[in-house]
Amino acid sequence: MRRRTKIVLAITFMVAVLVSAFSYIYISQLLRQQVTTADATASNLTSNLAFLATKAAPDLSSTRVDTSNPQAVRRAIAYYLGTDRDLNNFLESVVGSWPMIYDAAIVDSEGNAILHTNPDLIGKRVPDRPTFQRIEDANFRQQLRLVYNPPTIYDVRMPLQLDGEPFGSIRVGVSTVFLKNELTPQLQHALLFSSTAILFSLVLAAGLSHLALGPLERISRSLDSVTAGEAEAIAEHEGGRDEYGMVTQKIANIGRQMRDAKEIFSALKDNVDQIMANLQDGLMLFTGASHVVLVSASVERFLGRPRRELLGRTVREIFSSDSVFGALVLDAFKHRRPVVQREMESPNGKRVQMSLDFIQEEGGMQIGALLTMRDAESVRRIEDEIEMSRRLSASGRLTRGVAHEVKNPINAIVLHLQLLQSKLQQIDPDTRRHMDIIGSEIHRLDRVVQILVDFTRPRELRLEETDLRRLLEDVVSLAAPDAAQHAVNIVQELPAEPLFVKVDADFLKQAILNVVLNGVQAMQRGGTLSVSARRDDEIVTTEIQDQGGGIPAEIQDKIFELYFTTKKGGSGIGLAQTYQIMQWHYGSLDFESVMGQGTKFRLRLPLAEARAESSISGNGEGVAETLGSPSA
């Protein structure tokens, strides 16, 4: 039920109660007045009749009536009363003159009518009727019931004494029909007034409720407008100096504050969602009541459940005590005890490093908890990459120093060798052959040193958006002659949709070509080399699978080190260079190898959009980037 309806009904009910109470009092007084009037009229009539009867009865001692005979005396008095003109005329006029009087009679001591307004009853016994005093003594509801019950006649009696002796009584009958006829019009007027008052109160209540609640409805519309972001329109069109205007202004101010807070919250939410979507770690934020309010996208990998199924649930609804992981989390929440980083198996079977920290206010009250999950294999892989970067950095620093120290002596040796050749006019063939060998080896050593210098010096990347599929096709074309020479068939598995990456095409082509040629050279007896690429969310993964003999486990952690090689004539620079180029492009390089079955290399690069966001967040506004040797 609406508030306006409640107010209307409440006001109408109050008015109805008041009108009913006043009507009750009015009608009760009116009825009491009618009853009193009827009693007074009837009593006055009996007094008049008694007076006339006393006057009509003569002094019997001066008559021939035997006063010693009571019967004779009564007959004589009855005769005189029945023949008295004034008494009879007055008795006949009673019924016509007073509407509420039903009849009147003078009755002897035996109850027989001496005189009666109804001539047929004269000389007959008059039946006893209830006295009018019964109506007078009743309360209001009883009086109404007596008046509106089936018609009844009530007597007003007065004893009659004639000649100093009790003679009988005077009876005046008052009919309830006449009382009802007198009272009904007054009751109808009272009911009409009450109905009119109630109807008027209903209309008045509706008007008052509209006047009182109209501003509330406008305030409600103002709140709706505030919710829709139209606070300025409210302040402009509905402002005023009254209470409603002041409230409207305050609502407009609140609306502007809410809009600003909503914009800030929306921006923060977008940033948090973006951060949570890109996080590799699984994060779950709980409230003080252990309900989940924030979940990172990576949690789906660890728990095997979608984020939307986790949000809003309690820790007991998410984790089960049947698993070691769930039991540890539930026990920590039960005792409000943090869990330091620990490696274990997650519910979906992955090895994870998990930790649980409880968030506290300044007063020490816990207001939430943060559960962190990290892929243990990824952690170890990152640690290996950091170690590899450290080694490459150390090798690079050593190489730059050695190259600098070696380059100058080589230049001096070449210069003095040329001077020596010019001073020797005649050189026997053996001496010239030895000098030519010395010169050739010096030039070869110079090329090796130059390669080392090129590997470690800063490079400028010319980044451009490139479809990785086209680049892989170019690499396969370049490697085709070597593959044919080793009886290797190169198979490409590329998707139909483009795979755009923002890279230096020349450097990346060299990096992939190094891996492809290594795979070709690893298959001494020929075979198939597969080159595939796919998109994994915001990452493009390139896989190169050979069917060679595999990489022994004892040297797998060394293959990306500078100068490490297992091939005759190998420089040990190719894979180190590939690793370095992948780092320049914010990518990664790893592999899987099984002895006797072959090796699979994975090269991961961010998509062009993700790479662009990373560049912007890192203040990389230019197309070209200058990079040096890898650092830890």
- For 553-565, the DSSP string reads GGGTTTTTSTT--
Q: How far is CA 229 from CA 146, 219, 221, 263, in A?
A: 72, 15, 12, 11
In this prediction, residue 244 carries a pLDDT of 58
- For 377-415, the DSSP string reads HHHHHHHHHHHHHHHHHHHHHHHHHHHHHHHHHHHHHHH
Token readout for 307 is 């984020």
Tell me how far apart the alpha carbons of residues 179 and 100 are, in angstroms, rounded to a whole number.
6
Token readout for 69 is 């005979």
Q: What size, in residues, is the chain?
A: 632
Tell me how far apart the alpha carbons of residues 544 and 540 are, in angstroms, rounded to a whole number.
13
Q: Which phi and psi angles does 623 have, rounded to 5°? A: -80, -35
In this prediction, residue 86 carries a pLDDT of 83
Question: Would you report the helix, strand and coil content of the chain in percent, each value rounded to 5?
Answer: 55, 20, 25
- For 169-183, the DSSP string reads EEEEEEEHHHHHHHH
Q: How far is CA 334 from CA 149, 303, 337, in A?
A: 80, 21, 8
Tell me how far apart the alpha carbons of residues 57 and 46 are, in angstroms, rounded to a whole number.
16
The angle at the Cα of 443, spanning 441 to 448, to the nearest 5 degrees, equals: 95
In this prediction, residue 501 carries a pLDDT of 93
Burial string for 39-58 (b: 16+ CB within 10 Å, else e) reads bebbeebbebbbebbeebbe
In this prediction, residue 191 carries a pLDDT of 81
Tell me how far apart the alpha carbons of residues 10 and 16 are, in angstroms, rounded to a whole number.
10
For tokens 């060299």, what's the residue?
A: 510
Give strand pairing partners of 589. Answer: 603
Give the closest residue to 629 by CA, choosing from 448, 449, 390: 390
The model's pLDDT over 410-455, given as tens digits with 9 standing for 90+, comes to 777 777 777 777 776 566 777 777 777 777 777 767 766 666 666 6
Q: Which phi and psi angles does 540 have, rounded to 5°? A: -105, 125
In this prediction, residue 618 carries a pLDDT of 43
Give strand pairing partners of 166. Answer: 161
94 Cβ neighbours under 8 A, 6+ residues apart = 45, 101, 103, 104, 117, 172
Give the closest residue to 416 by CA, choosing from 398, 435, 433, 430: 435
Q: What is the assigned CATH class of domain 3-194? A: alpha beta
Domain residue extents for the chain: 3-194, 231-271, 279-457, 459-627
Q: Which residues, given as ranges, of the chain have pLDDT below 70?
A: 1-4, 59-70, 73, 163, 212-245, 248, 251, 265, 268-269, 271-280, 348, 379, 384-385, 388-389, 391-405, 407, 424-427, 444, 447-459, 562-563, 568-571, 609-632
Give me the sheet containing 488-493, strands edge to edge: 488-493, 527-536, 539-545, 598-606, 588-594
572 close to 565: Cβ distance less than 8 angstroms: yes
Token readout for 607 is 């998509």
Q: What is the assigned CATH class of domain 459-627? A: alpha beta
Cα pseudo-dihedral 552, 558, 562, 567, rounded to 10? -10
Tell me how far apart the alpha carbons of residues 223 and 216 are, in angstroms, rounded to a whole number.
10
DSSP character at residue 569: T
179 Cβ neighbours under 8 A, 6+ residues apart = 34, 35, 38, 100, 147
In this prediction, residue 473 carries a pLDDT of 93
Q: What is the assigned CATH class of domain 279-457? A: alpha beta
Burial string for 250-279 (b: 16+ CB within 10 Å, else e) reads ebbeebbebbeeeeeeeeeeeeeeeebeee
**What's 307-365 look like in SS3?**
HHHHCCCEHHHHCCCCCHHHHHHHHHHHHCCCEEEEEEECCCCCEEEEEEEEEECCCCC
**Residue 153 host element (H or E):** strand 153-162
218 close to 238: Cβ distance less than 8 angstroms: yes
156 close to 174: Cβ distance less than 8 angstroms: yes
The runs of H, that is alpha helices, within 98-165 are 133-137, 140-148
DSSP character at residue 127: P
Q: Which phi and psi angles does 364 have, rounded to 5°? A: 95, 0
The model's pLDDT over 221-257, given as tens digits with 9 standing for 90+, comes to 666 666 666 655 555 555 556 665 677 677 677 777 7
Identical fold for domains 3-194 and 459-627, yes or no, is no
For tokens 């030519």, what's the residue?
A: 436
In this prediction, residue 630 carries a pLDDT of 39
In this prediction, residue 562 carries a pLDDT of 67
339 close to 328: Cβ distance less than 8 angstroms: yes
Tell me how far apart the alpha carbons of residues 511 and 502 are, in angstroms, rounded to a whole number.
15
Strand runs labelled E in 421-495:
459-462, 464-467, 488-493
